Every structure is written in C-alpha cells, then in structure tokens.
Structure 1
C-alpha cells in the first residue's frame, strides 16, 4: 500500500511540475555561412541552469518556467543574443535565431577563429547528413588528431580511398590518377608532374587545409571527366582579432640516419632550389661535372608560421587575412633490387642504393572580404615549391645487361653498374578570386544566390640536370687483374649522358552558379564552367662519345669529375687531339650535320604542345518533395576540344605530327535521398560521365627511367576519342550521434573503351597507353563506422575508433590493338589497372579530459590495400603488380595551457616492403623493385602568440 501511495505521489509531483513548464523550440542558424544550421550552439534561460545545445540540425527544445523569461543564444566566437519570451503553461512556442560574428544586441565577447566549427568532424558529418549528394569530408580537427600532415594522407583516411606508398598516386574505388579530378575551392588545380593528371596532394600541408572532401557520386556541377571522384580542398579561412603561431620540428628516418655517406647532387640548394637556371644547358655540361656531395646529418626538419587578423568596419563589413608559410625537408634511403624486365630487356640490378633529399616550401595568403551579410569575396594565392634530389647507384653481378648481350641467357655476359644523379623541381602558382552573393529587395527574391570563381594556374616543372653513366665489368673492380677494371659502356654516345627537361603549364578556369529558390520545396541551379589549359614541353640530351683510345679508361665511380671535365672534352670530330670524348646532341643545328666542329648546344630532342578547351553549361534542381524525399535531377552540356602537336625522335618519319579530337556530351545525373528518420538516410545516384586522355597519354614522347620507359600514344585521340562512363551508387547512412556514423554503400561502374598502361610491341619494352578493349566494369561495397567508446559525464569523447572497409571486383575485356603502336594479349580479360580488391582504413584515438591545463590526444592510424595491377602485361608477359602494403602510424599531440603544444609522431611503424613484381615470366615472378622506407620518428613544438 505504501508503495502505491509513493508512486501516486511521485506522479502527482511530476504532473504538477510539468504544468509549471512550457516548451520552447526552434532552430539556430549561422549567419556567416548563409544561414546554414548551427550545431552545438548554447541556448538557455537567463538566470537559471535550464538550457541545452543545438543538435546537428541546429534544433533545440527546452522545458522553460512559465511567465516572462529571457532566452539567451550563444556560440564561441559569435555575438550573444538575448531575446525576451513569454512562456505559457502546456504550450509550445517556436523561437528561431540567427547568430553571427557581429550584430549582437548585448554581450561583447572576444572573437576567435570562427571557422573552427567548420573544421570539426561533427560539423562535417552534419554537412554529409544534410547534403543532397553523396559526399564525404575530413576536417582540420580530425586531420590534427590523426596526425595527417598533408592532403594526400587526408583523403586516404576516407572509405574507398588508398594512397600508393612511396608515391603521390591516390586511388578512389580502385580507379587511379586518370579517373580523378582535383580542385581548390571548387576551381581546377594543375598537375605538377608530366606523368600525372592530378597535382601531388602531399604538396598541400595540413596548415592550409580547412577540410578535404571527396564526391564519389557525380552531379552536373562537376566537369564531365569524372569516373572515380572529385577531390576538393577548401583553403583555410580566419575570422578573429588576430594570432601568430610558430611550429618547429625535427625527425629522423631509421634507414637514412645511419648513412654517414648520404649523397646529394652538386648544384641543388638546401631549400630545394636549383642554382643554374638561366644558363644554357650545354654550358652546365661543360662547367659542372658529376660531383655528388656527402652529408653527415640526414635529420629532417620543418618550420611553419601561421598568422591571421580581422578588421571590422561598419554595416557588418569585415576584412580577414590568413597567411601561412612553411618549409620541410626529409632524407630517405632505399636499398634493394631494381630490375628492367620486358619482352626484350632483362637488366637486373640486385645491389642498388638510392639516396633522396626532398624539400617542400609552401606559402599561402587568403583574404576574405565580407562586404555585408549578403556579399562576400575571397582571394587565395598559393605558391608551392617541391624538389627531389636523388642519387642512385645500381649494381649487377653476373647477369647479361648490355645491349649486345640482352638477348642471351640472363646468366651470361659480364656485369654492369649505373649511376643516376638527378634533381627535379616543381614551381606551382595558384591564384583565385571567388564570390558569394545573396540578392534581396529591388525585385529580387531573398532566395537568389550567386556563387562564382575565376582562377589562373601556372606550373613550371624542371628536370634541370640528370646525369647518368653506365659501366661494364664493375663486379671485378676490386680484383687484382688490370684487364677487368670497370669501363664505360660505349654501345652508343648516349649510354653516358646529361639530360635536361622543362614543362610549362598555364591554365585559366572559371565557374559560376546561380541558385533560385522558387518555393520552399524547389531550388534551381544554373551554371557554367570554362577551362583553357596549355602545355609546352621540351627536353634536350647530350651524350659522351668516347674515342677508341679511351674506351677502356679506368673509372672511379666516386671521382667521376676526374673524367667529365672541360680538359677532357674534344670539340672537333674525326680529329685526334688526345682528348677523351666529344659531346654529342641528338639534333644539331641545321646545316652543320656534317661539320667537323661539334655544333652545340644544338636543338631540343623532343617537343610537344598540348591544348585543352572545355565549355559547359548545366541546369539542376533540388526538390524537397516532403520531409522524407529529396531529389536532385541534373543535365550538363559540355564541349571538349583537345589537341596535341609533337616533334619527337623515336618515331622516324612519323616523328612530326599531331592529333585533335572534339566532342559535345549530354550528361544526365540523378541523386535521390530518402530520410528514413531524423538520423538515417538512404541515397541513390545514377550518372553518365566521360574519361578524357591526358597530354602525357597522347604525346608519343618516351621518358626513360632507370628500370622502365613510359610513353604516350596519339591514337587515343582517334575514334573513339573519349570513354563513356556509367555510374551507379546506393548508400545507407545512420548518424548515431553528432560524431558517430554507420554507413554501407554498394556501387558499380561501366567504362567503355578503357585506357590502360601496357607494354607495346617494340624493341625497347616501352610501356604505352592503349584502349585495350570495349568495356570494363567495377562492382564494390563500402562499410564505414565511427564510434565513441568512452564518453565522460560532460559528453566529451575520451576514446573513439573509426573503421572503413572496401571490397571491389573489377573486370575488363582485352583485345589486340593496332595503329601507330601495337600490343596484344594471351588472354581475353583481366582485372582493371590500379584496382585493389580490398581497402582498409582504421584508427583509435584516446583523448583524456581530466586535466585542467593539459589536453593530450593519442592516435593509432592504420591503412592497407591488397595487390593491384600497376601495368598490364602483353603477349606472353604477365602484369606488373604492386604488392599489398600495410601502414601503421602513431601520433601523440599534447596541448599545454593556452599557448603551447608538443607533439610526437612515429610513422610507418611496420616498415613493410614496397614491392613491384612482374608476374608470369619464363623465370617465374620477377621482383622489379623491393625496398623498405624505414620508420620515421619526430617531435615538434608549437607556440601560439
């Protein structure tokens, strides 16, 4: 009886208490971001402890005392708003509020970086949840937790994405460089490498990144050249009173640190600039030998300076600046076999060493001008300088290696040695102006928005001096027989050579999008994209033509300057002067071909010019049919005109020529989102896109590396010139909490007339690009989850984990190809080049919160991809396969007080072998390269003024 009375009394108290309350609900939006929902804003009743925070949709609900109250809205960095309300018993009132960095009515708060919220993982999950299309992002906050140092590492943490270890190659759903696009603030970025379509994402340090997003499903705002996805980097912005931040760091690589003989080229500076620009290449050949310098402190270092400042004016006007400048370097040592194995070559270097000193310099200025609440302009200027200084020594023992012996048994012949010394530098300039406008009054609807951008990019890519020598009988260099000393390989003048190459890319691109909201349920988008890209390429090569008397000269590979100097250079052909060699160029000046005088510097060996023009218009709609259904149909009309003109030496009478292709595409797309409830979405996407060849794929110039030769194929611009791609996606998302997610996606693609890298049927074993069949298909499944494992009483996450898994099945038909170049296959189908069956990314993050002035964050980050085809084999030759690689990193960040941060990173803890294998040869599987990159451990110290 007593229990029944007690329960009745509690119910009565609760009823009485509820009758003294009213309900206040509403939505808080962000004035700084065009009134998007603002999550995590504080809403409370003034003078009480009654309050809450807004959810991912900016919504809140409060049980408030009856009577006249003051409702307070606040958010860090924004002005606090106090609003009088009248609460009625048992009734709900709706109070919506816009918060911004200015225009508040009451409290004056110290303003700090207001963009921090848009860098948070939770805010990006909200964006993903609300987006009408399939899109995934990683923000600056998550980048910091996972110790991500650049954009390349950032995208590899997203499901279905992997990065090729030891290179800049990024794969999305098994499709590599040629199927991707990269943009900065929605505008096209150039490539920094002649052999790549996309820029090396590792050139973008995390200090300039607000977030990185990947759109795997197509919609009409993107260029038609879309098969795997579009990677967009949003540059960092700042809104606040000002800060300066300095970070210094140092690290060491386990395989480089103990090399007291670490070698660098002569002529390259410590900061990644080459000191001989403006000189005639031939003058460089005469005045600079083959010197390599030993350095005795292979310690990596870095320095970063960030600064920001805002200036507020009247009428909500604000001018904000953010600037960053950084420099970093790294030393890497690789040791292992390097093999050139094709239909005609079998050159093996089992005892090879490579020394690499790489630098990266970055400078960015971002200026954001908020004219008023309706108009914003943003200027971004970015400069990147990357360099690679490599010295390679490649030795051979007891295997046939010279050109006279290459068709003999691989266990016959002598031994050889190759030394390759080269410096590469890429200078990249990106300048953009973008604007966002909302029009109202004077006949305009409040829902008319204009978003536009114009960009100019310039890339200057140099290989300003590559030195390569080849020796025979090197295996006997240490014996006592003077007749077996190492001597220069002299099959032709260019077995020992100097090489110079330069590329200049210019690009002008633009975008404009007009959004008109016709009703609460329908918005229309009208847009235009334009792009003009020009490339100029030339290279020059000089060979050392040794006189008969000097062919067997004693060679000391550690003192090559004793031979290659101006005193040993002969300037007259067919005249005995006692000198060791003449210097030859592939192309002499017209009229001097038969002259006895060596007419140098001569003409460029190879040149080509490429032009790409794109003009596109599109229309799409966002239809919110009801609370459940969002439909985004779109159609894009795009004209593509691409041309290549070339003058190359390796094609004889066909060496001068060109090719042009022009086509107009009609590309439909459809995205559908069905909200199962407030936290779960079901998404569908279908689209048609195309794949456009790159300049390097169509220019027949051949780049000769140490162990492979890669060239283009102009036939790619013959009919069919472009590949049609059909894309299908179905995805389920469950946003468990504001920072937890479970998603499952299935996807499929059909690529007509796919392009692959294949060994051509020629005497050099050159790999070229071919349309290898009629069709390729990709079918896959993606699973992603983010989970908070330990959360304290204040709902702060202390232990969290993330995991994503992708499985793919790919297939393409193969057919023999004939044209300017030809290739054939001993099979009718194979997997798609670049596709791994399995991709895995995982991380565990521990961030205890019990300390007052100390905030540590420790993360273990793991990634894995299974074997994938790097290049298709032809004839009886098997594929080149990049073997699977697991990577494990440890990051420990420590924020101490308000100003200090001390960090520890240990990268590549597993130190796996990086291996490329030629499968299915008569000798079994042949390892083409096999090395380990070493474990890199480093510390850094940051101070914020």
Structure 2
C-alpha cells in the first residue's frame, strides 16, 4: 500500500531582496535495520523541485538557506525532527512503529514545504536579510515569555518601555505621538480620543503571527513617524486541519479579599453592556445604574477556540482558513496607595493620604483569515478581526480635598467603565507577472467605537464633630455622571509595483518600486456631563448608599441636574468632529553595488489635510491645516561576511497633532483638567541610525546600534499658567534631540539535538539614551493666539528631557526547553524587565518635574505538553511587586505624589488540540 513521506521545512520569508539557496545532502535510513531507503522518488511541491535517493540511499536537494528545521514522518514510522543549524549534511533515521517496514511503499514519497514565519530562528533570518533595520518577535517567542498581548510583546524589544497601567509604549524615549501602528502593512485607528495609536494590549497573541518594529523610516511607511512603526502580522494557517480549545483562570494577590474588591454597578462580566442616557434626563432622576459600589468576584477567566485547514486542488491552486475566538478577563487591585499634589513653592500639600483602585478588564477577540493561492504567482488574502475590550475601575481618594478645603477625611470616588469595539476588514493581493515584476496591493475599512457610558463621580466632606459624611456642594460638578461616545471610520489603500533590473536567477542588480498610499478617516466625539447640583449639603449620607440621597423622590428638593448647555428641559452635548486625508506617492530604488553592498534610496511626497470642528463649553469654532511634505530616506547594508552586517539609515519625517489636541474640548480627571490648542502644528523629525549585527549561529544574534533624532518644534503637554492650572498642548520650543545606544544578544548555551532535543537559551537587550529639548515660554505665547486669547506658560527649566524617556531600559530572560518523542515537552522561562526614572510631566511655576521612578519586574512562565494533545500553562508575573512611585522633584527634595502596589498575578491554563 502507498504511504507518504513528509518532510517539513519551516522557512522564513524572502525579506526585501533576493534570497539565496543552499544544498542539503544526506541519506535516509531505516533505524531498526540500519539499512538505507534506496531509489525513493520525492518532490518538493512548493518549490517545484524533484529528487530521488540513489541505490545507496543518498539524496541531494537545494532549499532556501532560511530553512531552520526538518521534520520527517512516514506512516508506520515515528516522526523525526531535527534542527538544521549550520550543517548541510543531514542523515535521517526512521524508527518503525507497529507496522513492518516492508509494508511501506516509498516509491512515490512526497516532500511538502511550509512556512513558519513565527519561529525565532526564522524571524532572525528575516532581520538578517532585511534591507531595513527591523526587529521581530513571533508567536513562539511570545509563548516562551508568557506574553498575552501585543503591548507586552513590543515591551520585550530593545529601547521600548510600556506606560504603567496602559497599553501605550515608548520607543527610544518617544511616546504615542511619535509612533505608528499597522496591521499587515495597513493603518488601524485609535480607540482613544487623546491618542494617535490604538492600545496594543487590545491585540491578544491568539491572532498574532509575529510583530515587526521598524525603528528607521522607509518611503513605504506612513511618514507620521518619529520613534517606530509597529506592524502586526495576523495569523495565517497552511497545513493539516486542527482544532484547539483552551480554558484558564487568573488571580491578583491584592484582590484576594473580595470584601475590599468592589466595582461600579452596571457593566456585565463579558464587557459588552452599554448604558444609554435616560430620556428626559433633565426632568427627573432616571439613571439606570446605582451609585452604590457592588462586590464582584476578582478571579479572572479565559477561554479560546481556534482551528484551521488548507486544501490543495488538482489545478495547483490552494485555499486555507484560520479562525479563532477568545475571551479573557482579569481583576486587579491597586493598594497601599498615596495621591497628593505639590504647591507652587514645591511644598507637599495634605492631599489624598489613601488611594485605592479596583479594576476589571475584558478582551474578546475574533479572527477569520482566508487565503486563496490561484497559483504560485497570484495570491489573495482576506482578514476580518473583531475586538471588544472593556475596562472598569473604581477609584477612591481619601484625605484632604482641595476643591472643598476640608479636613483630612474627605472622599472622592470615581467609577469609570470604558468599552472599545474595533472591526478591521482587509483584502490583500500579491501578483508576480514575471521573474522581473510584481504588484502588491491592500485595501482596508476599519471602524471603531469608544464608549464611556455613565462615568460617575462623587465628592464628600467629613465632619469630625459628628463623624458623618456630607455631599460637597461648593461646585455643581463635584458630583456628576458623564457619557462619552467616539466613532471613527477609516479607509486605507496601499499599492506597490516593483521591477527588477539585471536579473540573474535568484539575484538581481537593482529594483525600482513605485506606489501610492491613501488614508481617509473621520472621527466624531460627543460628550455629556450631567452635574448633580446638591442644594441640601447639610444632610448626612452613607458613602456606600448614595442612592439614598440621589433618587427621584429627592430630585428638586435635595439636588438638581444641570449641564453646560441646556434650555427648557433640552440639552446640547459638547462635541467635535475631525477629518483627515493623506495622499502619498513614493518611489524607491534598491541597488546592489556588489554582492556585499547595497542601498535603497526613497522619496515620498505626502499631502496632508486635517479639519477639526467643535462646539464645547469653552467655544465653538473650526480649524484646518493643509500641507505638503517631501520626505527622503536612505538605507544601506554592507555584508561584512556571511554572519555580519553593517547598516546605516537616515530620513526626514514629521509628527502630526491629534484631533483632540486641536479642538477646544475639555476633559476633567480627578487630579487634572486638559483642553486643546487650535494653533498646534506639526513637528519635523530628522533621523539617523548605525547598526552592527553578528549572527554566530542559526537562532543567535549579537548587535549594537547607535541612533540619533533631531526634532524641530516638538509638541508637549503643558500646564497653563493660571489659577486653575489646566493643561493643554503646545509646540514648546524650537528644537529637541534624542541620542542613544542599543544592544541585543541571544545565545543558546546548551543545545543538544537528537530525538529528545534540549536547549537552554539566554536573551538580553538594553538601551541607554539621553534626550533634551528647549522650553520657551515666549514661543508658546506668540504662537497660540486664538479667539483673543493665548496660552501662558512658566516653565521651571529652559531645557529638559522628553516625557516618557528613560535613560536605561533593560530586558533579560533565560529559558529551558526539552521535547520528547511522543509529543511531550516542557518550556520554562524567567524574564526580567527594568527601566530607570522617566519624566512624566514638565515642571512649571517653580515646581519641579513629575518623574516616574524606575522599577523592575520579574516573571516566571511554565508551558508543558503532556502529549501531542494536552497542554498545561502556568504564569506568575510581577513577582517582585515593587512600589510604583511618581514624585515631584523640587529643589528642597522629592515629594511622592502617587504611589501604589499592583500585586502579583497568577494564571493557569489548559488546552486540548484535536
């Protein structure tokens, strides 16, 4: 009877230029009889190659040098898997199972080739061969380090830190406004009205194949770029059918006490519920949700389903699909907290001596990926991704309340529920017309909806004489309910045509690429704050039963409801809308001066139009800017030898202000209030990088890079010099710069190959950087005139660092892995992350800077497979549980203005693959 011989080579992508091949030769053996498998024909279907063992069992094949692993299986024999490493001779021994070897017909054996881009060795090969300076992290490495989302993955790359409590990242000291995010090369919108980029923690690893970070600019990347472009590649499955189901649970050590773990009433466990504004909201108290905190289980849960399959047809075409659905939730409590402010003389104010925060987050994701290869030269791919994310928090601040100037035991409670729903739809195509020319394209339509339904805040004063709480009534907004909704639609298109010149087999002398990129987005934000104006402030209340005061029976006599713009029982919301259109044409010339030295020269012309229209409590107005940018770029690579690369890159880019930053829209938090500046304008960035890479062996790297950035007219968040100390945005100086050095090392210190491979690997990356920028009060005053007013600032220093920039960022890990013949495996990783002090906000009015103090985190991850079907995963994170501190640095000493502990997080998961 006929059986198949399957040889699986996991290959990397071809990179951005020609890919070379290597020759692999050896023998096939029957391990039991120690005899060769002679005269066995086979073909490598995906590469269009045929081969045959000779009478002595010898074979010779030519494959891509990116191949890193070979797996050979024959029905009746046990599987053999072996890493290729540096060797080009591979003798493969097959051990028979129950079936006798003579029952197996090897005359028509088949070798199939599949690609596994997510493997660490493959991604390093991509990095090695790429023309651009790029870093990659794939599914294999993310699993090894226990990473659950894209934010955690990016934070493991050199020079990157994650902002505490958010999914935002800083790259080389540059924050949200200087970075960009894309999915499969196409842009994706932000869920937050104040951010340019979407929170990366919305993307769970269930839908990610690998992530690429481009720290240098090329003309095929959106030019709103300063720190890095993060490109997420969604999963694509090509292979035999599979189906996997997983379950898990998690707990935060601070949230073990359920009596202290309380949340706002209203949102449900899965994070899909949305509360609407009541009808006739100004005519009575008709809100749906209670103001009383409710106890909730703090244990998180998760489940996931995923599966896929591909089909090969007789005409040579191929179709495949991959689908996944996942839900994850987790509870967290911040405790041992302090929150306070510092006055203009740098003295500590008796503010909130106790701060606690209970949090509950959910993330639901669904992905459908379809691919259809008409033939090897024409390929189509479609992606649809749905993400529903919710975050719920109940924050309590106990102590001195500035707004009511009361004693030590005042209370401010804020309950916030935020829901984001993102739908991404993409269609992509790859077309190879000849050995010289190809055409790639992609289009996308994305929608996102951000809702903050029924945020609640209550402020209470405490009377020591009768030991009772009373609702503060100095201002109508001290108790309020707030509703916000943002909707954004975005369409994008990428087109690129490439023509190779001087083609000689796999190599070519030059390649010219021309293309177009377009992006149009429209955003609408609407916000309503309903102030609960207390007119019976002499009645004692129970903080945990505020429904006893705020109810329909007391409406009118005890309190009233007001908003910023109401008349005869109706109201108008605060709102702004924005439109942004970007049209860009680009051209790149890649030229190989020799087999060692090549360069890419790029030029991009980009037209940007941004329009913002608002009507808020501050004003009503419209503002537009329109500009055209010419943006050159250069990337060079010198191949010192087969294991070393020397790279250089330089470019000019820009940084746009965001819609919210240019609209006169007011957002109030417990400790700060911010508004926009319509006169804000774009910064210009000049970037340069020099990098040396060494790849000692397959899967290993040692690299060092130096970088520099010079920014003209940098944008910063500033404190306005006024009695209210509100915050806004401004081009705060004429110049700013960032310089630094990055190192990366990855090494296998134990690497035992064979039937039961065993490996110990260590990884380290670190970045040291310095940033500085000019702070100019006169520049801000002169450039911010609008509607008869200006922004006044009084910076404490004339020069300072960029906000979010740490001098030192460090990531280190050590992993142990072992695999057994029957499919069992174990993988254990210890990972450490550290960042030094970083600037949170600039000092004003003689006050010092606010600084987030550096700290380190330690995680332990254990992943096991009992056999080929059952897997058990365990993770213990934040084991050091450091105190997270924000201080204000003053001449007479630093003052803690915020501190807390997050607690340790433990999770356990079980999965089964059918």
Q: TM-score, normalised by structure 1?
A: 0.84
Say which of 694, 707, 711 aligns to 1:747.
707
Question: Do structure 1's residue 894 and structure 2's residue 864 form an aligned pair?
Answer: yes
CA distance in 2, matches of 1:892, 1:93: 40
* Counterpart Cα distance in 2 of 1:690 and 1:318: 42
Corresponding position of 2:299: 299
Residue in 2 that maps onto 1:634: 602
**Separation in 2 of the partners of 1:835 and 1:247?**
39
- Does the 8 Å contact 1:43/1:74 carry over to 2? no
Q: Quickly say closer, same or farther: Cα 1:125–1:918, change in 2 above 3 A.
A: same
Match of 1:59 in 2: none
1:420 alignment partner in structure 2: 414
Aligned CA distance change for structure 1 residues 42 and 229 (closer, same or farther; 3 Å): same
User: Which deviates further from its counterpart, 251-260 or 855-864?
Assistant: 251-260
> Residues 467 and 657 (structure 1 numbering): CA distance in 2 closer, same or farther, change over 3 Å?
same
Tell me by how many angstroms 1:788 deviates: 0.5
Write out per-residue CA displacement over residues 587-608 of structure 1, whole angstroms, 9 at most, x where no aligned residue: 113xx4xxxxxx14x111x211
Distance 2:742 2:825 in 1: 34
Q: C-alpha distance in 2, partners of 1:106/1:135?
A: 45
- Cα offset, 1:39, TM superposition: 8.7
- Structure with higher Rg: it is 1
Structure 1 portions without partners, runs of 5+: 1-26, 50-64, 406-411, 441-445, 571-578, 593-598
Give the SS at the match of 1:736: coil
In 1: Cα distance, 2:11 partner to 2:251 partner: 47
Q: SS of the counterpart of 2:609? A: strand
Measure the CA separation in 2 of the matches of 1:426 and 1:226.
25
Q: Which residue of 1 aligns with 2:482?
A: 499
Q: CA, structure 1 residues 30+782, in 2 after alignment: closer, same or farther (shift >3 Å)?
A: closer
Q: Which residue of 1 aligns with 2:423?
A: 429
Query: Is the 1:71–1:85 Cα contact (8 Å) retained in structure 2?
Result: no
Equivalence for 1:469: 458
Equivalent residue for 1:290?
Answer: 290
Match of 1:623 in 2: 591
Question: What is the distance in 1 between the residues matched to 2:259 and 2:795?
Answer: 48
Verify the 8 A CA contact 1:459 1:506 in the aligned structure 2.
yes
Aligned equivalents of 2:684, 2:538: Cα separation in 1: 57
Tell me how far 1:492 sits from its aligned partner: 2.2
SS in 1 for 2:566: coil
Per-residue CA deviation, residues 58-94 of structure 1 (Å, 9 max, x unaligned), is: xxxxxxx9xx98786769x99984258999xxxx999
Alignment-derived partner of residue 829 in structure 1:
799
Summarize the alignment of residues 725-874 of structure 1 with structure 2, pairs less than 5 Å apart. 725-794=685-754, 796=757, 798-816=759-777, 817-818=780-781, 819=784, 820-849=790-819, 852-874=822-844
The residue that corresponds to 1:910 in the other structure is: 880
TM-score, normalised with respect to structure 2: 0.87
1:451 aligns with 2:440: yes
- C-alpha change, 1:376 and 1:494, in structure 2 (3 Å) is same
Instruction: Determine if contact 1:634/1:669 at 8 Å carries over to the other structure.
Output: yes
Distance 2:358 2:881 in 1: 17
Q: After superposition, where does 1:214-233 map in structure 2 within 5 Å?
A: 214-233=213-232
Task: After superposition, give the CA deviation of every residue in 1:478-535 in whole Å (9 maximum; x if it has no partner).
Answer: xxx43x5221111122211111111111111111111111222101111111011111
Conserved? CA contact 2:332–2:359, under 8 Å: yes
Aligned residue runs from structure 1 range 7-18, under 5 A: none
2:51 to 78, 82, 91: 82
CA distance in 1, matches of 2:41, 2:13: 19
Question: What is aligned with 1:671?
Answer: 635
Task: Report the Cα offset of residue 789 of structure 1.
Answer: 0.6
Post-superposition CA distance 1:835-890 (Å, at most 9, x none): 11000011100113467542100001111111111111223122121111211110
SS in 2 for 1:491: coil
CA drift at 1:110 = 9.8
- What residue is the counterpart of 1:352 in the other structure? 355
Identify the match of residue 928 of structure 1 among 876, 887, 897: 897
Counterpart secondary structure, 1:714: coil
1:614 aligned onto 2:582: yes
SS in 1 for 2:298: coil
Aligned length: 844
Question: What's the CA shift for 1:712?
Answer: 2.1
1:95–1:873 Cα change, 3 Å = closer
Is the CA contact 2:23–2:62 (under 8 Å) kept in the aligned structure 1?
no
Partner of 2:81: none
- How much has 1:648 moved relative to structure 2? 1.7
Cα 1:288–1:95 change in 2 (3 A) is: closer
- 2:390 counterpart residue number: 387
* RMSD of aligned Cα (Å): 3.1
- Structure 2: how far apart are the matches of 1:831 and 1:33? 37
Instruction: Name the counterpart of 1:439.
Output: 433
Within 1, Cα distance between the matches of 2:162 and 2:459? Answer: 34
Find the aligned partners of 2:888 and 2:280 in 1 and give their Cα distance.
Answer: 37
Change in Cα spacing, 1:885 to 1:285, as seen in structure 2 (3 Å) is farther
Partner of 1:332: 332
Instruction: Provide the rounded CA distance (Å) in 1 between the counterparts of 2:157 and 2:848.
Output: 32
Aligned position for 2:470: 487
Deviation of 1:710 after TM superposition, in Å, equals: 2.6
The aligned residue for residue 583 of structure 1 is 561
Contact 2:391/2:417 (8 A) holds in 1: yes
Following TM superposition, by how much is the alpha carbon of 1:111 offset from its aligned partner in structure 2, in angstroms?
A: 7.5
What secondary structure sits across from 1:142 in the alignment? helix
Q: Aligned equivalents of 1:302 and 1:42: distance in 2?
A: 44
The 8 Å contact of residues 272 and 359 in structure 1, kept in 2 or not, is answered as yes
Closer/same/farther in 2, CA of residues 851 and 861 from structure 1, 3 Å limit: farther
Cα 1:552–1:423 shift into 2, 3 Å = same
1:129-278 alignment runs, 5 A limit: 129-277=128-276
CA distance, structure 2, for counterparts of residue 80 and residue 299 of structure 1: 54
Identify the match of residue 673 of structure 2 among 709, 716, 722. 709
Task: Measure how far apart 1:920 and its partner are.
Answer: 1.6
> What stretches of structure 2 of length at least 5 have no aligned partner?
1-8, 72-105, 503-507, 785-789
Structure 2 counterpart of 1:939: 908
2:520 is the counterpart of 1:532: yes
Inter-CA distance 536–28: structure 2 relative to 1 (3 Å threshold): closer
Offset of 1:797 from its aligned partner? 5.2
Is the CA contact (8 Å cut-off) linking 1:79 and 1:108 kept in structure 2?
Answer: no
- Partners in 1 of 2:62 and 2:189 — Cα distance? 48
Structure 1 partner of 2:5: none
Whole-Å Cα distance in 2 between the matches of residues 633 and 694 of structure 1? 30
What is the CA-CA distance between 1:181 and the residue it aligns to? 0.3
* Partner Cα separation in structure 1 for residue 578 and residue 543 of structure 2: 40
**Separation in 2 of the partners of 1:762 and 1:581?**
31
SS at 2:636's partner residue?
strand
Residue of structure 2 in register with 1:510 after alignment: 493
Alpha-carbon distance in 2 for matches of 1:80, 1:909: 52
Q: CA 1:37 to 1:262, structure 2 compared with 1: closer, same or farther past 3 Å?
A: same
